[in-house]
Amino acid sequence: MSNENNKTLIEVQDLKVHFYLKASGFFNRKRQAVKAVDGVTFDVRENETFGLVGESGCGKSTTGRGILQLIRPTAGSVRFENIELTKLGKEAIRCMRPKMQMIFQDSYDSLNPRHPIGRIISDPLVIHGIARRGSAELKERVSELMNMVCLNPGYVNRFPHEFSGGQRQRIGVARALALNPKFIVCDESISALDVSIQAQIVNLLQELQEQFGLSYLFIAHDLNMVRFISNRVAVMYIGKIMEMADRQTLFKSPLHPYTKSLISAAPTPNPKFERNRQRIILSGEVPSATNPPKGCVFNTRCPIAFERCSQEIPEYREVAPQHFVACHAV
Amino acid sequence: MSLPSYGKLADNRPRWLQQLATFIRLVKRDKGGAFGMLIVILLIFCAVFANHITPYDPSLQNLREGKTPPAWFPKGSGKVTPSWAHPLGTDPLGRDLLTRIIYGSRVSLTVGVFGVLLACSLGLIIGMIGGYLGGRVDDIIVNVINIMLGIPYLLLVVVIATVLGRSLINVILIFGITDAPVFVRVTRSVVLRARECGYVEAAVSIGAQNWRILFEQILPNLVGPIITLGTLEMSNLIFAEAGLGFLGLSVPPSVPSWGNMLNAAREYILSYPWMAMWPGFSIMITAVGMNLMGDWLRDIMDPRQRRARR
């Protein structure tokens, strides 16, 4: 699909998204911050699928939203084709939107139940003044898009609730494709679907990638699916990237203890391997992002943690070409 | 990739026809709602065609026939014998009560409709601004609304009415403004909920402007609640207008309105009770009809409740 020589499309550097909690008391005005994303660095190349995995609440989705400026980052930089997005004003961002789109997790929630799907798919084109509502070229483009995602164009006047989950997700894909974007964030786009439908959507995404040279930021918690679709993968834990490498390296020879435990937790379909699978079981709960542990955020649950881990934040460094790890033990 | 295409569904009628069929089915299913709607339609008919369906002029005096009892009352209970020339009787000045009741519906309906329209537009604008922008603007709006709701309603209305004087426009203005807080609250709550919906974020991500999100994505959510609330509030306003009329603060006494008629009938209530009966009865039946219709609208506007109600 892609190779390492591809040009960088998106460069994320030390991205931070913090949410400030409303003060609980009337007089106690000390603000607490939830550090949802706390210094994340990676890049997405052209025509590449970049997988982002991690537990619930580790900041995967927030990272995706921070890149698209749906949530304005607290700090750090996001460069899209060498344009610094975090510095752009509202209107400038709006003009950039056609190039970067998003496919949402909950297709039921992300499609307005009161609008027929023809309107949902054509909205991006109307908003950016590419075609007028009701014009013949708009209708043509909508049926083209519907064909692209294997929906019967005769269904334009149906409403979202008249479709199945997989069909609705494909409506979301069609909407994201309407403006010919270069980059799409797939935010758990297949997590809520049946396995057979997941395969259908993933295949569709890959076909579209080949056809249009798209880049994906593929956010998921299903490791097998990420392994299948991604070129490179990053593993997140409480707002930080623990390890990033290309697919083969990360799944075959993970270095970070958290990555190892994640991979060991994913079931394999082959019973022979499954029987011999060594589980690394983590104890305890994920610490809160309001009050992350000192030192390495993973030290409270890490099976190999030593004294230094609870004091010093491990540097996120390149241990092998294109293999980044943040761990003292590596 | 090829996917199975599903056959067309059986119902291929145009959407508006399907909606009409659904509507008729819903009317049939709920007798109370249908009854309420019938009353409201009748009321609108009376108000619009008052000058065509009434035999007399509402202010035509005929002292010789004054205080005529309703037609079916026994003879000899008053100076004047009841007759079908005045089916509901006459007032002390000999004005036909049926005619005045029918004309009175005009005032009630005008105040109801325009009062609600004014309150609703104010409420929609303020509520949408507060709910969508949030922050300090919202805080101010919420607090002002709470203060307004904290003031005793009738007292406030009486004060404003006394200051502004008696006219139809003033009555509409008073009710439109004092009733707006209810609409602000409902609008704000709906907007607050809709703002967090996934499709609003999706609209942002495709690059929709604020006004587009507000009008195309959020506003449609308001149609149901506002229509329902409007109907219920209309009956409240008609009630309140009659109350104001009874206190002598609504439209000028020369205008036939239910409240004014009640006010005028007060001193005769023991000897000629029908003079107070008819306007009172009209107010009651209007309120019942509008409430029934409002309840029914609330249920059918919410698809989840649609099934529960039989």
Every domain of chain A and the residues it spans: 8-114+159-326
Q: How many percent of chain B have pLDDT more than 70?
A: 92
Distance CA A47, CA A207 (A): 12
B260: left (phi over 0), alpha (psi -120 to 50) or beta: alpha
Q: What is the structure's pLDDT at B4? A: 45
A163–B contact, CB cutoff 8 A:
no
Whole-number mean pLDDT of chain B?
A: 85
| Adjacency order of strands within the sheet including A49-54 | A100-103, A183-187, A215-220, A49-54, A232-237, A240-246, A323-326, A316-320
* Confidence check: pLDDT of B93 > 70: yes
Residues within 8 A of B (CB atoms), A 80-109 only? 94-95, 97-98, 101-102, 104, 106, 109
Please state the separation of Cα B178 from the chain's center in Å. Answer: 15
Residues 6+ apart with CB under 8 A from B59: B95, B254, B256
Q: What is the structure's pLDDT at A184? A: 95
B208–A contact, CB cutoff 8 A:
yes
Closest C-alpha among A206, A190, A208 to residue A198: A190
Q: What is the structure's pLDDT at A5? A: 60
Q: Which helix or strand (DSSP H or E) is residue A293 part of?
A: none
* Confidence check: pLDDT of B190 > 80: yes
- B-chain CB neighbours of A89 within 8 Å are none
Distance CA B220, CA B204 (A): 17
* Phi, psi angle pair for B214, to nearest 5°: -65, -45
Stretch among A249-258, B64-73, B133-142 having the lowest mean pLDDT:
B64-73
Instruction: Please name the residue of chain B whose CA is at the shortest distance from the CA of residue A199.
Output: B1
Residues 6+ apart with CB under 8 A from A161: A108, A113
Residues 6+ apart with CB under 8 A from A308: A295, A328
The answer to whether the CB atoms of B204 and A204 lie below 8 A apart is: no
Distance CA A153, CA A121 (A): 11
The answer to whether B200 touches B213, Cβ cutoff 8 Å, is yes
Out of B2, B198, B221, closest to residue A110 by CB: B198
Up-side HSE of residue B150: CA atoms within 13 Å toward CB?
A: 6
Most B CBs within 10 Å, among A71, A111, A112, to test the B interface: A112
CA–CA min distance A37, chain B (Å): 19
How many residues are there in chain A? 330
The answer to whether B221 touches B199, Cβ cutoff 8 Å, is no
**DSSP assignment, residue B179?**
T
CA–CA min distance B171, chain A (Å): 37
Instruction: Return the number of CB contacts < 8 Å for A and B.
Output: 65
The answer to whether the CB atoms of B199 and A94 lie below 8 A apart is: no
pLDDT for B239-286, tens place per residue? 888 988 888 888 888 888 999 999 888 888 888 888 889 999 999 999
Divide the 330 residues of chain A into consecutive groups of 10 and give the mean pLDDT of each group. 69 91 61 86 92 89 93 92 91 92 89 90 92 89 92 90 90 93 91 86 92 93 88 92 92 90 83 79 81 87 87 89 89
A207–B contact, CB cutoff 8 A:
yes
**DSSP assignment, residue B213?**
I
Q: What is the structure's pLDDT at B1? A: 42
The answer to whether A246 touches A320, Cβ cutoff 8 Å, is no
Give the Å distances, CA to CA, from B182 to A59, B108, B118, B121, B192.
40, 20, 12, 12, 16
B15–A contact, CB cutoff 8 A:
yes
SS3 of A34, please?
strand
A175–B contact, CB cutoff 8 A:
yes
The answer to whether B241 touches B279, Cβ cutoff 8 Å, is no
The answer to whether the CB atoms of A175 and B202 lie below 8 A apart is: yes
Beta-carbon neighbour count of residue B223 at 10 Å?
Answer: 12
- 3.40.640.10, 3.40.50.300, 3.20.20.140, 3.40.50.620: which CATH number matches A8-114+159-326? 3.40.50.300
A200–B contact, CB cutoff 8 A:
yes
Residues 6+ apart with CB under 8 A from A187: A60, A61, A64, A65, A102, A103, A104, A105, A219
Distance CA A131, CA A174 (A): 16
- B-chain CB neighbours of A207 within 8 Å are 1
The answer to whether the CB atoms of B199 and A68 lie below 8 A apart is: no
Q: What is the structure's pLDDT at B304? A: 53
A164–B contact, CB cutoff 8 A:
no
- A-chain CB neighbours of B208 within 8 Å are 123, 127
Q: Which helix or strand (DSSP H or E) is residue B245 part of?
A: helix B219-246
Strand A75-80 to A183-187 pairing: unpaired
- ipTM of this model? 0.86
* Phi, psi angle pair for A230, to nearest 5°: -90, 155
B205–A contact, CB cutoff 8 A:
yes
The answer to whether the CB atoms of B202 and A128 lie below 8 A apart is: no
The answer to whether the CB atoms of B221 and A203 lie below 8 A apart is: no
Q: What is the structure's pLDDT at A171? A: 94
Q: How confident is the model at residue B188 (pLDDT cuts 50, 70, 90)?
A: very high
The answer to whether the CB atoms of B202 and A111 lie below 8 A apart is: yes
Distance CA B307, CA B310 (A): 7
Distance CA B97, CA B272 (A): 12
Token pair for B13: 């009628």
Domains of chain B, each with CATH number or no CATH: 29-48+95-305 (1.10.3720.10)
Closest C-alpha among A98, A96, A323, A49 to residue A210: A49
Which DSSP string corresponds to A189-209? TTTTS-HHHHHHHHHHHHHHH
- A-chain CB neighbours of B136 within 8 Å are none
How many residues are there in chain B? 310
Whole-number mean pLDDT of chain A?
A: 88
* Confidence check: pLDDT of B8 > 90: no
Q: How confident is the model at residue B7 (pLDDT cuts 50, 70, 90)?
A: very low
